[in-house]
C-alpha cells in the first residue's frame, strides 16, 4: 500500500493568490471611495430640492402693496420670487475645501432685514455641518413676479480638497399656465458638473 504524502502549496500558487487578493482589494477601495463621494453629494441634491420647494412656497405667498388705498379702490394680489441672496454660504470655497463647514444661523438670516430677499425669504437654513457652498439668485421678470422670472439655486463643493469645484444647479421659472395664471415651475432634475470633485 502506497503512503499518501501531504503536499503544501507551492510558492507560485501562493503568489497567484496574493496577487488576486491585491487586485480585489484595490478594486474594493476604489469602489468604496466612489460610493462615499456619491453619498456625500446627497447633501447637495437634498438641499437644492428643499430650496426649490421653499421657492415655490415663497412664490405662492400672496403679497400686496404697502400703500394706503383710496376709498372704494382695490389692491391686486401679487406673487413674486424671492430676490437674490446677498452672499453665498459660506462666503467662499475655502471653508469647504475637503471638509465640512458649520454655518451660523445669522448667515442664513443675513437678508432678513430686507423685504422678500434671499434665504431669509425662502425660510431655508442648515443647522448641521455642510460639505457645500449654497447660493440663490433671482433673475428676469418684473420684480421676480412676471412671466419669465427665474431663479437659480446652486451648490458648489470640493469634497476631495483639490480646489476643483463640483456644481449642482436647480432652476425654476414663472410661466403662464393653461388657465392663464402665472405659475412657478421647477426643473425636474439638477444640472451637475464634476459631481464627485
Nearest to residue 111, comparing CAs of 143, 140, 135, 128?
135
pTM for this one?
Answer: 0.81
pLDDT at residue 109, as a whole number: 95
> Cell 483639490, residue?
162
Task: Give every CB contact of residue 93 below 8 A, 6+ residues apart in sequence.
Answer: 133, 156, 158, 163, 165
Where does the pLDDT of residue 143 fall: very low under 50, low under 70, confident under 90, or very high at 90 and above?
Answer: low
**3-class DSSP state of 166:** strand
- The domain limits of the chain are 15-63+76-193
What digits encode the pLDDT tens for the residues 69-108? 788 887 777 788 999 999 999 999 999 999 999 999 999 9
Tell me the per-residue pLDDT of 24-82, one tens digit each, with 9 for 90 and over: 998 888 888 888 888 899 999 999 999 999 999 999 887 766 678 788 887 777 788 99
Amino acid at each position: 500500500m502506497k503512503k499518501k504524502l501531504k503536499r503544501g502549496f507551492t510558492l507560485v500558487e501562493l503568489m497567484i493568490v496574493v496577487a488576486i487578493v491585491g487586485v480585489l482589494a484595490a478594486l474594493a477601495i476604489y469602489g468604496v471611495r466612489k460610493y462615499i463621494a456619491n453619498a456625500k453629494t446627497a447633501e447637495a441634491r437634498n438641499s437644492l430640492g428643499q430650496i426649490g420647494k421653499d421657492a415655490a412656497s415663497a412664490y405662492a405667498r400672496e403679497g400686496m402693496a404697502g400703500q394706503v388705498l383710496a376709498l372704494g379702490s382695490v389692491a391686486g394680489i401679487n406673487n413674486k420670487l424671492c430676490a437674490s441672496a446677498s452672499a453665498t454660504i459660506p462666503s467662499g470655497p475655502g471653508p469647504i475645501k475637503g471638509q465640512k463647514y458649520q454655518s451660523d444661523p445669522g448667515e442664513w438670516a443675513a437678508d432678513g432685514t430686507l423685504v422678500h430677499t434671499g434665504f431669509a425669504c425662502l425660510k431655508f437654513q442648515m443647522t448641521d455641518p455642510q460639505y457645500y457652498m449654497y447660493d440663490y439668485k433671482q433673475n428676469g421678470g418684473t420684480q421676480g413676479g412676471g412671466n419669465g422670472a427665474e431663479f437659480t439655486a446652486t451648490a458648489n463643493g470640493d469634497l476631495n480638497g483639490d480646489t476643483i469645484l463640483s456644481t449642482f444647479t436647480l432652476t425654476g421659472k414663472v410661466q403662464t399656465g393653461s388657465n392663464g395664471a402665472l405659475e412657478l415651475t421647477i426643473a425636474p432634475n439638477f444640472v451637475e458638473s464634476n459631481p464627485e470633485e
